[in-house]
Every structure is written in structure tokens, then in C-alpha cells.
């Protein structure tokens, strides 16, 4: 399995993780999908494009190229549940609307899925862990921004319409409280957008596992409502008119993280 990830090292102590924009499928997964799943509707569409300013800002980026239908990089390797409410697992069995992902009896076998864990999940997390460790050695701290998006209305997963900007810090455990306050303030100033901290999405495995503020590694997840930058239905087109103002807020969030880090750690 080649081309499992794309990694670009930045010059500042900030790494943007993008675990769900990938659309590549393995033959076993592709052969078993129901028709409704073949367009990959649950993809975090266009996230790398939305954060294309990261290099200019000085942040590093880590992007997954395989679909979450192969293996979900934001779930723990033991597939322990992260939410008490409806969710999907390490090897998703349903679409976000609750419908089966695979035709009956067409799920990949255990041996095939073990290969996905070894050849897709593990390289992503090894790269992520190594880069955070490098940043901490060089700067004394590391900042991790886990970038996601989702349709604004998914009744199977949450009631009503999702706020535009959904910040998650694992209920305050994954980053310093003052950093979370800075990010909330940025969202509050963006008057055309709604936001929440630790609402329906508190952060998945990446935020919870790597966010260790006592060890000077601060992690934040953003689940962005897709209506802020794209068409939420097929063909899932990118909307430059929507994306441009949203990118301004994203840039302000990332700059706020960097500014907080310099103030807190002196570099």
C-alpha cells in the first residue's frame, strides 16, 4: 500500500493533522461497498485545499490519502469507543446516516484489516508522534491542530444543525485552558459564524492521545461544518465564495495558537 500519507514539515511548532480527507480505497473495500458509499459521502472533503495557507503561516501538515472507509485514523488501535452516542469505529461498518457501509457478507476479512492497521494507521501515527517529538525537542513545546469537517446536519449522529466551528479539547484535558480561551475568542469575533467548545465533538483519538499539556504538547480538534466552504451534497464542490471568509477565521485560529505558544514558552 503506497502513498498512504503526505507530510510537509513546517518551520514553527505547529502541526496540522488531517486524518480524513483521503479517498483511496483498497480492492477489498471497494468491492464490498454499497452503492451509496461509493461517492465517499463521509469524507472530510477539500480539507487540504482549505488549509493551503499552512505553509505560508509556517505550520507543518500531515494528510491521510486513504479513505476512512478503509480504516479510521482518528480511532484507537484497539477500537475502544470514544463517544457514548452514535459513532463509527476503527473499521467503519455504517455510513454516517446509520445505513450499512457494505453489502451483506462483503466486509474485508480480519487478515485484510490487520494489514490496514499495519500499513495505513501505523505509518500515520508514527509520523505524527515523531514530528510532535521533534517540535518539542526544538522548541520546548508542540501545538497540534486536528482538522476535520462534516455535514452540518447528520440526524443519526447529532440533533439539529451543527455549529459552524466545533472546537474540541477533550473537555479541557488536551490543551492549556488559556489556549482554549484564545481560540474561543477568535470564534466569538467571527460574527457570521456560530461556534461551540466541547459540544458534540470533544476530540477523537488523535486529540485525546497526543494532547498532553503537562508534557507541553497541546492538541485541539476542529470539526468544521461543511456548509461553510462547500456544497454538502453530490458532487461535493468546493465553494470559493464560502471558503475564502472561512479561511480567514481558520488562519486567525492557527495564528492565535502560535501567538499563545510564543507568549507561554518564549519562542
Q: What is the pLDDT of residue 156?
A: 80
Q: What is the pLDDT of residue 2?
A: 77
pTM as predicted: 0.95
Span 137-143, average pLDDT:
98
DSSP letter, residue 199: S
Mean pLDDT for the chain overall: 95
Closest CA to 7 of 15, 67, 122: 15
Rounded to an integer, what distance in angstroms lies between the CA atom of residue 150 and that of residue 96? 10
The cell for 105 is 457478507
Cell numbers 462547500 correspond to 230
Number of H helices, E strands in the chain: 8, 7
Rounded to an integer, what distance in angstroms lies between the CA atom of residue 39 and that of residue 184? 34
**pLDDT band at 151; cut points 50, 70, 90:** very high
- Please report how the helices 240-265 and 177-189 are oriented relative to each other, as an axis angle in degrees rounded to 10: 150
Span 111-121, average pLDDT:
97
Span 241-263, average pLDDT:
98
* β pairing state of 195-197 and 165-168: parallel
Tell me the domains of the chain and their CATH numbers.
Answer: 5-265 (3.40.630.40)
pLDDT above 80: residue 87: no
Span 185-203, average pLDDT:
95
pLDDT above 60: residue 245: yes
Where residue 57 falls (left for φ over 0; alpha for ψ -120 to 50; beta otherwise) is alpha
pLDDT above 60: residue 205: yes
pLDDT in tens, 26-48: 999 999 999 999 999 999 999 99
Q: What is the pLDDT of residue 83?
A: 62
Amino acid at each position: 500500500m503506497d502513498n498512504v500519507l503526505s507530510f510537509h514539515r513546517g518551520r514553527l511548532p505547529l502541526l496540522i493533522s488531517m486524518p480524513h480527507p483521503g479517498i483511496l480505497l483498497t480492492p477489498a473495500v471497494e468491492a464490498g461497498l454499497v452503492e451509496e458509499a461509493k461517492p465517499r459521502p463521509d469524507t472530510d472533503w477539500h480539507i487540504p485545499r482549505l488549509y493551503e495557507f499552512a505553509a505560508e503561516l509556517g505550520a507543518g501538515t500531515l494528510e491521510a490519502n486513504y479513505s476512512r472507509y478503509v480504516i479510521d485514523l482518528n480511532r484507537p488501535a484497539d477500537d475502544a469507543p470514544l463517544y457514548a452516542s452514535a459513532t463509527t469505529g476503527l473499521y467503519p461498518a455504517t455510513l454516517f446516516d446509520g445505513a450499512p457501509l457494505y453489502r451483506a457478507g462483503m466486509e474485508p476479512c480480519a487478515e485484510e484489516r490487520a494489514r490496514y492497521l499495519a500499513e495505513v494507521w501505523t505509518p500515520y501515527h508514527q509520523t505524527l508522534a515523531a514530528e510532535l517529538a521533534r517540535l518539542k525537542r526544538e522548541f520546548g513545546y508542540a501545538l497540534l491542530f486536528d482538522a476535520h469537517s462534516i455535514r452540518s446536519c447528520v440526524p443519526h449522529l447529532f440533533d439539529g444543525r451543527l455549529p459552524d466551528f466545533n472546537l474540541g479539547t477533550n473537555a479541557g484535558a488536551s490543551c492549556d485552558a488559556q489556549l482554549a480561551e484564545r481560540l474561543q475568542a477568535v470564534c466569538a469575533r467571527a460574527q457570521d459564524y456560530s461556534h461551540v467548545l466541547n459540544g458534540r465533538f470533544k476530540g477523537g483519538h488523535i486529540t485525546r492521545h497526543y494532547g498532553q499539556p503537562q508534557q507541553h504538547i497541546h492538541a485541539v480538534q476542529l470539526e468544521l461544518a461543511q456548509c461553510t466552504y462547500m456544497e454538502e451534497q453530490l458532487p461535493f464542490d468546493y465553494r470559493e465564495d464560502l471558503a475564502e471568509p472561512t479561511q480567514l477565521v481558520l488562519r486567525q485560529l492557527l495564528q492565535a495558537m502560535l501567538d499563545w505558544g510564543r507568549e507561554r514558552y518564549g519562542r
